[in-house]
Structure 1
Amino acid sequence: MDDVVIVGAGPVGLFLACELGLAGCSVSVIEREADGSSPWRSQPLGMRGLTAASIQAFDRRGLLEPLLQASGVEPGESGPPRMVGHFAGMMLDAANLDPAAFPFRLPTPTPDVLLTSLEAVESVLAERAVKLGVEIKRGTAVSGITQYDDNVVVRAGEQEYAARWVVGCDGGRSTVRGLAGFEFVGTEPLFTGYTMQVDIEDPEKLSPGFNLTPTGMYIRMMTDGHYSMLDFDGGAFDRSQELTRDHLQDVLRRMSGTDVTLTDVHLASSFTDRAMQTATYRQGRVLVAGDAAHIHSPLGGQGLNTGLGDAMNLGWKLAATVQGVAPDDLLDTYDGERHPVGASVLDWTRAQVDVMKPGPQAEAVRGLIRDLLATRDGTTYVVGKLSGYWIRYDLGDEHDLVGRSAPDFYLEDGTRLGDLTQDGRAVLLDFTSSLQEQAARWDIRYVAGPARDGLGLPAVLIRPDGVVAWAGGPATFDTVAARWFGTARG
């Protein structure tokens, strides 16, 4: 019997498998598709943008360099956040960004944003997972889940797999979510979206980038022949009819206000802005993460990044629970911390959709928001939301750094935090070398010595997921350590 069975070998399932394997858990991943290769996973259709929080997660597990290589990107030094992005198709000017709004951002060699592909992400994670002893079973669809007091049995094909825990990472139409009885609630769609790889006779008629129009939006991507469209039809066309050349051409003409001509369609798919979330991320011994837990429109590129955040948050908590060293309520904090993040992302995409609707009311709101986005505060607010820098879990501590992802502290000897977190353990950075005796009582990595910039703090306790659990003096350290890491040694 495995400790954990993960259903779904996409980025979220594979990242979670790596986290659990790193902690010494026995893990199997069950994937419906027999082959992970697909034009929808490779460039250009599989292109995805990783934000700072996700890039930081890869860096803290020693996976960033392989991912950069797989993505064809050279590593480089970063300073203040450079990522800009857009809100509802309205582009942001990087010159308006206020670095002072990110007071805990320290210089780091990691980039602020990374354009990659699902294929690159999955190949890096699958290779690491296998090295950690994870077994990936492809070409098998899950058809049943039965929970017992101390285990779960998953039926896939003709086989049954028993595990102490099951995690559904199987996408927006999750089988696990349905079989385990998760309530899935939210809002119905306003548009049908299309993404396609096509040949166009007269592409010069279409402007590059994001184009909001009186009827919707079309996007001409950087790569030739890659287009997306949003048609505000209430989601009526999504998966209801064949995506023919004539239909796609008709939609593109209406969205662009041109008589552009499609000559060939190589690949096309539809989607909507349906925004749904499970009422809880756990049902007994079954948990959900990524799109299995929350779906929404792709506006803002938050789906993959939110799912990776789920996996990073859940991995160490589930591993500690499996190993019997977790406090009683540790696993409950997964839902408590990540459900609000998912809900916020759904609202973020809903707001963009509402602003993009055709009609004079939405057009008036767009004008107002465009003016706000042109300001320093407006640009900075959107970047803070998109990057993940402003995610903060409520850990019951008023210190503004607690609950946030830890800055990339450098010690004076050149060691940086990213070098100290690759084994998945918690880290105590003791800049005043005063906590060694207390730290020895806990299963954490203790590192003492002054920092190049310690942000005025005497010490910082960082959870395995990179979140600051405590920043202060010796008097409160043991209380906080017990909350997250259970019982002290002897």
Structure 2
Amino acid sequence: MEDVVIAGAGPNGLMLACELALAGIRPLVLERLPEPTTENRANGLVGQVVRLLDRRGLHDRLAGPIGPPAPAFVFGAMRLDLTLTDPNPLNILGVPQRRVEAMLNERAAELGVEVRRGHELTGLTQDADAVTLDVTGPEGPYRLRTRYHVGADGGRSVTRKLAGIDFPGVTEDRTLSYTANGTVPAEFADAESGGLRVPGHGVIPPFFHYRTGTGLFVYAPFPAGPLISTMELADGEESGDEPPMTLDELRASIERVLGFALPVEPPTGDGPHLLRRLRGRNTRLAAKFREGRVLLVGDAAHVHSAIGGPGLNLGLQDAAGLGWKLAATLHGWAPAGLLDTYESERRPIAERVVMQTQAQSALIAPGLEVTALRELFGELLRLPGTVQHIADLMSGADVRYEPATDHPLDGRWAPDLVLADGTRLAELTRTARPLLLDFTGSLGDELRGWTDRVDLVPGRTPGDATALLVRPDGYVAWATGATDPDETERKALRTALERWFGHPLDA
């Protein structure tokens, strides 16, 4: 019997597989496609997920050392001046999704994860002890038994459907989007900003969602080649047998949106190159993230607009939040109800992503009343408090799980600490082990009974916290600022250890 079978070898499924492997579980991954997809479904990572990759040593593989947060971003096609924030929570990593997926596939192989490509899930039943999966592979159908099954198989998740989990939400078909790689003559390039000089509009900044009265235009100069996108109101029903999109369609859409015939030419360099037409937007949230021994991560649990790039920020952190809890359950030391906290913690975050992407979609819609709303909203975006709130929301920095103490760090993402000897917290978290950072030098005895599950990190660091209990997913489970924690604080630490990491060995 397998311990865990994951359906889907996209970024979320592979990330979960890596997290489980780091925790001593060897999952089996099933992927219906015979080869990794060449389609590029996203062009960067935005938010806390960039820091998560850094804390697993994966950021280096994609782009070298992590850089500073972005000085600006967009919300609802309006500029978000992140120099007004303190701290600035919004990191951006501009790499194509296919590179992220290839890197995670490589990492999973290093960790001993088996990925079976060309193997499609076709049936699922479960009992009190296991899940039975029917699979069709290149050599025909076969059956698997697994203690847990996780669906990371996208918005049309077969896992979700077979488990009988509803997927309520809304589908709107009022918009039509065109996206393609292409080139634009050099005379339109603005060397200073990296954007485009468009007659009648001035300089359209790079990566900026530029709204007009008739639609939306985006120019994204990625290293692999510029990506150009438009969005308009749809003018009819989808026929169901529409021919593949052409660059002529994009050119015509740009002229309708900007009122100028921008001469977009085919892309140069090696492909694959994107040429995609999308009708409407889907916003749906699974009725539950767990049904018995079946769980959902990523798009299998939630789909929403891609505006602002929240998809991988949400999905990859789902994987990090589930991985250690599922591993603890399989190892037998998980406290009662630990696996249920996956949904109770991650579902509210998905709800907030749905909320903010719907709000952004409303802000980019055509119409004079929307233009008035944007004018008012633009005034609010000159207020540092508003910008901080939105930046925290988009990045995920506003997430706070249920705290054990009243310390301001408790329940939040652990800060990017640097110890006195120069060691970064990100270097200590690459094994995905829980950590007790003890800068008081007096808490080692409290950890007795949990040393098989939690690592003690002594040392010193500047800052308000003198000790932190950090979960494998990067969130603080207990904190103190006392140089000599009293018995009440020590008891709270022991309670937090037992709450998240089970009974001590000597209990």
Is the pair's TM-score, using the shorter chain for normalization, greater than 0.5?
yes
Which of 153, 160, 168 in structure 2 is aligned with 1:177? 160
Sort the Cα spacing of 1:261 and 1:22 in 2 relative to 1 into closer, same or farther, 3 A: same
Secondary structure class of the residue paired with 1:402: coil
In 1, the alpha carbon distance for the partners of 2:445 and 2:340 equals 30
Partner of 2:175: 191
Corresponding position: 1:330 with 2:338: yes
Corresponding position: 1:113 with 2:92: yes
CA shift for structure 1 position 396 = 5.3
In 2, the alpha carbon distance for the partners of 1:220 and 1:90 equals 15
Which segment drifts farther, 223-232 or 236-245? 236-245
Alignment of 1:121-140 (within 5 A): 121-140=100-119
Corresponding position: 1:49 with 2:45: yes
Partner of 1:454: 463
Structure 2: give runs of 5+ residues left out of the alignment.
189-197, 268-272, 481-488
In 1, the alpha carbon distance for the partners of 2:339 and 2:227 equals 42
Alignment of 1:91-490 (within 5 A): 91-95=79-83, 97-99=84-86, 101=87, 112-157=91-136, 158-189=141-172, 190-198=174-182, 204=188, 205=198, 208=204, 209=206, 210-223=209-222, 226-233=227-234, 236-237=237-238, 241-245=242-246, 247-260=249-262, 267-271=274-278, 272-395=280-403, 397-442=405-450, 443-451=453-461, 453-455=462-464, 457-472=465-480, 473-490=489-506
CA shift for structure 1 position 323 = 1.1
Which segment drifts farther, 256-265 or 18-27? 256-265
With normalisation by structure 2, the TM-score equals 0.86
Sort the Cα spacing of 1:450 and 1:160 in 2 relative to 1 into closer, same or farther, 3 A: same
In 2, the alpha carbon distance for the partners of 1:243 and 1:214 equals 27
In 1, the alpha carbon distance for the partners of 2:323 and 2:306 equals 25
Sort the Cα spacing of 1:60 and 1:296 in 2 relative to 1 into closer, same or farther, 3 A: same
Identity of aligned residues (%): 38
CA shift for structure 1 position 478 = 1.0
CA shift for structure 1 position 324 = 1.1
Deviations 1:116-141 (A, max 9, x none): 11122112211121121210011222
Task: Say if 1:249 and 1:262, in contact at 8 Å, map to a contact too.
Answer: yes
CA shift for structure 1 position 159 = 2.3
Partner of 2:58: 63
CA shift for structure 1 position 317 = 0.3
Secondary structure class of the residue paired with 1:306: helix
With normalisation by structure 1, the TM-score equals 0.89
Q: CA RMSD in A?
A: 2.5
Q: Which amino acid aligns with 2:234?
A: D
Sort the Cα spacing of 1:267 and 1:439 in 2 relative to 1 into closer, same or farther, 3 A: closer
Sort the Cα spacing of 1:76 and 1:244 in 2 relative to 1 into closer, same or farther, 3 A: closer
In 2, the alpha carbon distance for the partners of 1:180 and 1:376 equals 46
Partner of 2:65: 75
Deviations 1:308-365 (A, max 9, x none): 1100100000000111110110000000000000010011000011111111111110
Q: Which amino acid aligns with 2:177?
A: G
Deviations 1:133-187 (A, max 9, x none): 2100112222111112211122221122221111111112211111111111122
CA shift for structure 1 position 376 = 2.2
CA shift for structure 1 position 438 = 1.2
Task: Say if 1:21 and 1:27, in contact at 8 Å, map to a contact too.
Answer: yes
Task: Say if 2:179 and 2:250, in contact at 8 Å, map to a contact too.
Answer: no
Secondary structure class of the residue paired with 1:222: strand
Q: Which amino acid aligns with 2:81?
A: D
In 1, the alpha carbon distance for the partners of 2:274 and 2:30 equals 27
Structure 1: give runs of 5+ residues left out of the alignment.
69-73, 106-110
Which of 69, 85, 88 in structure 1 is aligned with 2:73? 85
Sort the Cα spacing of 1:24 and 1:360 in 2 relative to 1 into closer, same or farther, 3 A: same
Which segment drifts farther, 406-415 or 157-166? 406-415
